[in-house]
Structure 1
């Protein structure tokens, strides 16, 4: 048998300020092989390797930031050599502090996964038609792995979810955490599984027509990130934090994107190394894992619309050339939400928009019942408003997320000690949910809220606290009734173009009694109409009269089985306290 053939495998490291770099690895008995520095700041070396798996690292004298007696910070190269993991390593061995490279057929590979359902992307829902489920792999199942999550995908299909927004999936070296302080950007978090497991998860989502959005952590890194360990100066703000006026928003070394420039549609390639690194990462996410969108964490702290616009166009170009222009969604996490970050004038497709604060005020205090605020909450589209989004596709509305308390606690209020099983609270929650799914915008639910999880996220330890999703709640009351409500409302969204449109008109506003009614309709089909009647008060009203009803005919109550016949411009009905009733037009 002929001996295995070896191939020339290139190793590279961008480190323009480092004086000497050697490659060490299992292929060299951990003896250093000097690398050569080129004019572009890259260190390169070709090594003859047979197919197989090898451990490796870079040996160098790193540059660190030291603070002088005068208070100034300066970069200083250490005299001692250190071994550092490749910032582009796609696999790592954390216990050995080394990267792992796999060679197959003379090339570096990440894995050998074969995609099964790529051809189904042509049937993916468009951005405006999404119902998003924010999912944290670590707590979604007891095992906290990609494979275990696959077993629960059919539950999401039954619920009506057609998009999953994943919390970060890159390696941070922690046993259990949200993952927003990344150490190894190109390495999949080992606690969740392998890169093949993640691809299998995405593939199975696509098979069920569920799109997958990745969290892009482009604002900051962990202090133990190899980029920072080797030399922070090309990549990060190192002499001071990016926003010294907000030290509470500093979560680690912050990437410096300041050299990128926009000139209409022409983009310069004289960019900062941070831009190149993140561009490579986004390409890796899209091409390797076939994702369908990106959520840019901490867009406010990045504070650079030019670079966000570049990332959006860069990602969309890959989607166009590699994935036949399938639907793709770019989203900003920016608090408070603003239409300025969204298209047509802003850089991204959409922004997270938390409506809980406004809504809870209206639910809790009669004096805070404000028609203008409610109209803005329901439809912040067009001129003449504080927020002027182009369409409902430009904002994602939600009541809670991984970063704030559970929906039940949000609606109850931070200062309240009311029983979380209180009937009034559950009525208020159900009304809030009804408004969430019938307002304009793309709705999002944080995992577990659909079954009424009420655990505290915590304060100091909220990013590392174990809060497993309690699947037993599905069979309990009032939890299962909440699940049925959300399922019915999602089914309505999928069935009715009126709910997914930008059309919303408040036609009845009774400020004294805190009752509101609004209509949704489709511009393509005048018979596709939905009316929502919302009683924000704690009072029950018998024989309540809703005026200015637009369309006479037969209407079906969506959350029940009853029908009503509207023969005039008003409707008389009974309203329970904190009740939301949804009607769908059936016929004349």
Structure 2
């Protein structure tokens, strides 16, 4: 990596470093009064050590005596994305997580949340107050949506423009460190969603410092970040420093990398591979596992394959196709990309092969798409029935609880939590939250606000329904509509929460659920019924029968050991229509399953 950038405070002085190769003069202006000239090296880095600087001091960078801008590597923006940057002491004196040994990806049960809407207070402190609740649910990993400084106080986080600065309205740098520390004290791993494929449109001053973007490629958000063009060594270093800061200085356990397919890099060593190498070295130094999970829609295992297979060595990746196959069956929706799904063989293949389109023709894309993931273990893939994208990128932001029956909700939860993949829940789904999660922003540029409104209406036009008005992203009410209700008292909500706790308990306690090699898991498709067999090398067996049909169905057990019923989603205790008569021990014989139900059997009791 190149030289460290940003403001580094130590012992009443601060070292300032900024990369601006095409500028002739760069100064730091501290507290709008004191000017300090920076010296330029032969790579375009400007640097100086300033005495008598204290944490809390504000500063701006003056470029060629003409304009002042925030520091692109700022770690604090208390005045917003257009205001001065702030010096902070990066050392945190309250760490108590020395005994924390981390979690490997195959152990994770992930809970994705958005800081601003998870609680009424919308801060890191609010999450701390809910950690005992998450523990009681069975969660051992939380993943928060991006927290790098964005315009205003309402945003999903993907409009961040200061990658190193923690959103001030959430609690800033120390607030995030306090949250991570509390998580580790309670045995919860912490993942952060980061965006290395684009920058937000408001407050993005990077181009005034250097060629951070390139015209060689375009992305859905405009020019691509410059990872392989002239001067790209320094841009790569900028983002590598960012990733390592989160993992080292903030003690994070891993990063979720947004839309890695939009990171345009055709150099000899892809940025992601360089990132994985740097993280491996840090992992060895810290002596605990660190996780890199990519979001990709390419159905390409290259991102997670080792270097000797031409891969980029990420730990794992999200699998949207599992969601699409499950959602299309559960809801019968066929709009947009759901048109490629909707048949039971799609869902069966998502369970068995991971990628549905693995080198076969995709009617929606009108081309052959994807490649096989069969050489990769199940635990390299994250699956979900809901997430921020799949809810929020619907016109009304409606959750699955508003689209399907209570029985289908339980079945969808079981499909995710009993699968051999790494499961991820989206905040509130565990108690069947009914409030939407909608798209919201708080930009200050009127033209940008109007462009976002128009774009929102057109980009997802295939989800629109007659008579419905697209929620205004800029409206504070849209944001408030998306804040969790925490309605845990209603009978259906309370019982759904207990149902999730039961599923997670089975996942944690049953030995067969800890084996994620493909040879130890089989899937059978019988009409609308998927039968999953999971086992380990000691003979422990779990069978999950998932009826996705609207009719009662039967299944004939043959040559099985004595089986015990662990769960029947149709039982009256789960507010279902009632179990079908069967003996407790089910080694042979016919099983009858209610519509949209799951039956879980095992040769051991829990």
Say whether the fold is shared (TM-score over 0.5): yes
Q: Report the 3-state secondary structure (helix = DSSP H, G, I; strand = E; otherwise coil) of the residue aligned with 2:424.
A: strand
CA drift of 1:273 comes to 1.3
Q: Report the 3-state secondary structure (helix = DSSP H, G, I; strand = E; otherwise coil) of the residue aligned with 1:134.
A: strand
Within the alignment, does 1:314 sit opposite 2:278 as a pair? yes
CA drift of 1:457 comes to 3.6
Q: 2-side partners of 1:577 and 1:86: how far apart?
A: 58
TM-score by length of 1: 0.80
CA drift of 1:497 comes to 3.0
Q: Which position in structure 2 is the counterpart of 1:231? A: 209
CA drift of 1:406 comes to 7.2
Q: 1-side partners of 2:372 and 2:290: how far apart?
A: 28
Within the alignment, does 1:282 sit opposite 2:227 as a pair? no
Alignment partner of 2:317 out of 351, 357, 360: 351
Q: 2-side partners of 1:82 and 1:400: how far apart?
A: 45
Within the alignment, does 1:510 sit opposite 2:526 as a pair? yes
Q: 1-side partners of 2:425 and 2:157: how far apart?
A: 20
CA drift of 1:254 comes to 3.1
Q: 2-side partners of 1:175 and 1:366: how far apart?
A: 34
TM alignment of 1:250-269, pairs within 5 A: 250=221, 254-258=224-228
Alignment partner of 2:50 out of 47, 50, 53: 47
Q: Report the 3-state secondary structure (helix = DSSP H, G, I; strand = E; otherwise coil) of the residue aligned with 2:168.
A: coil
Q: Can you list the C-alpha shifts for 1:273-306, whole angstroms capped at 9, x where unaligned?
A: 1101011111211121100011111211114371
Q: Report the 3-state secondary structure (helix = DSSP H, G, I; strand = E; otherwise coil) of the residue aligned with 1:138.
A: helix
TM alignment of 1:174-573, pairs within 5 A: 174-225=152-203, 227-233=205-211, 235-237=212-214, 239=215, 242-243=217-218, 249-250=220-221, 254-258=224-228, 272-304=233-265, 306-321=270-285, 323-324=286-287, 326-344=288-306, 345=309, 346-347=311-312, 348-354=314-320, 355-363=322-330, 370=343, 372-380=345-353, 386-405=372-391, 425-458=405-438, 460=456, 465-466=478-479, 467-502=481-516, 503-507=520-524, 509-511=525-527, 514-523=528-537, 525-526=538-539, 528-541=540-553, 544-548=554-558, 550-559=559-568, 564-568=584-588, 571-573=589-591
Q: Can you list the C-alpha shifts for 1:548-573, whole angstroms capped at 9, x where unaligned?
A: 4x4321413235799722343xx323
Q: Can you list the C-alpha shifts for 1:23-61, whole angstroms capped at 9, x where unaligned?
A: 2113xx625333222212111223221655422111114
Given the superposition, is the C-alpha separation of residues 125 and 58 from structure 1 closer, same or farther in structure 2, using an over 3 Å criterion? closer
CA drift of 1:93 comes to 3.4
TM alignment of 1:138-153, pairs within 5 A: 138-153=116-131
CA drift of 1:491 comes to 0.8
Within the alignment, does 1:577 sit opposite 2:592 as a pair? no
Would you say the 8 A contact 1:529–1:585 is kept in 2? yes
Query: Where in structure 1 do 4 or more consecutive aligned residues deviate above 3 Å?
Result: 5-9, 50-53, 223-227, 360-372, 381-387, 406-414, 454-459, 461-465, 467-472, 559-563
Q: Can you list the C-alpha shifts for 1:183-220, whole angstroms capped at 9, x where unaligned?
A: 22221111101322111111111111110011121111
Within the alignment, does 1:98 sit opposite 2:84 as a pair? yes
Q: 2-side partners of 1:566 and 1:343: how far apart?
A: 41
Q: Which position in structure 2 is the counterpart of 1:64? A: none
Deviates more, 1:8-17 or 1:272-281: 8-17
Given the superposition, is the C-alpha separation of residues 519 and 369 from structure 1 closer, same or farther in structure 2, using an over 3 Å criterion? farther
TM alignment of 1:68-147, pairs within 5 A: 81-94=66-79, 97-102=83-88, 109-110=89-90, 112-119=92-99, 121-122=100-101, 124-147=102-125
TM-score by length of 2: 0.78
How large is the Cα RMSD of the aligned pairs? 3.3
Deviates more, 1:387-396 or 1:197-206: 387-396
Q: 2-side partners of 1:563 and 1:208: how far apart?
A: 41
Deviates more, 1:190-199 or 1:48-57: 48-57
Rg larger for = 1
**Count of residue pairs the alignment pairs up:** 520
Deviates more, 1:431-440 or 1:290-299: 431-440
Q: Can you list the C-alpha shifts for 1:357-413, whole angstroms capped at 9, x where unaligned?
A: 212333466998756433321122699984435101211011121112279999999
Q: 1-side partners of 2:60 and 2:428: how far apart?
A: 41
Deviates more, 1:359-368 or 1:307-316: 359-368
CA drift of 1:311 comes to 0.7
CA drift of 1:510 comes to 2.6
- What 5-or-longer segments of structure 2 have no aligned partner? 1-9, 335-340, 360-370, 440-455, 457-471, 574-581
Q: Report the 3-state secondary structure (helix = DSSP H, G, I; strand = E; otherwise coil) of the residue aligned with 1:405.
A: helix
Q: 1-side partners of 2:247 and 2:11: how far apart?
A: 30
Would you say the 8 A contact 1:537–1:577 is kept in 2? yes
Q: 2-side partners of 1:411 and 1:438: how far apart?
A: 26
Q: Which position in structure 2 is the counterpart of 1:67? A: none
Q: Report the 3-state secondary structure (helix = DSSP H, G, I; strand = E; otherwise coil) of the residue aligned with 1:539.
A: coil
